[in-house]
Homo-oligomer: A and B are copies of this chain.
Amino acid sequence: MQLLEDHIRREGKVAAGNVLRVDGFLNHQIDVVLLTKLAEEFHARFSGEKVDKILTIEASGIGMACVAAQYFHCPVVFAKKSKTRNLSGEFYTTQVASFTHGIVNHVIVAKPYLNPEDRVLIIDDFLANGAALEGLIDLVQQAGATVVGAGIAVEKAFQPGGERIRAKGVRVESLARVKEMHEGEIVFC
């Protein structure tokens, strides 16, 4: 998606450890006009699909998920990062290793908010090694619900997550796919 690629080229910053910073418009300060355009594009790409629920993970996916939900006319559920390992049976739980922070998060969704009849679209800001997306897919599957697909703003296509998850048959739509990046240069697929 040209508009998002332009934003990333203009304002994105390549930081140490293969980190792409988009803090100025996507995940610290949020350009809500841009979010609306991204949501329109997700809606266009998944227009043939019935979507009952959008699932994302706190924190930076929430804004995009809420704006997308205005187009899909469905609620949002955001998975929470929990410090507690031992939760009662009220939650679906999974583990997600954070690429950026080098830690493992326990990620949970309360059982009433994912149901077997739900057709779930997963929305997130980044896809790199795929840990967060695989965790969210796991939560949907634990509930016996259906993953319609994943709508991602920025995919770092030189990392293995996208390829691995598509190979499992999950439809992944990324609005900007970074082929390679170095300080001062970001190349898209």
Contacts and interface: CB of A to CB of B under 8 A. Distances in A.
A30 B78 contact: yes
A176 interface: no
A184 to B, nearest CB: 19
Contact of A78 (B59, B73, B74, B113): B59
A103 to B, nearest CB: 9
Given A23-B110, A59-B59, A28 B66 contact: no
A106 interface: no
A interface: dominant SS: mixed
Contact of A112 (B24, B33, B36, B113): B24
Nearest to A67: B66
Contact of A66 (B23, B24, B30): B30
Interface string A32-76: 110110000000000000000000001100110111011001111
A181 to B, nearest CB: 21
A136 interface: no
A30 B75 contact: yes
12 contacts: A28-B78, A28-B80, A30-B62, A35-B66, A36-B70, A58-B58, A58-B59, A59-B59, A59-B62, A62-B62, A63-B65, A66-B67
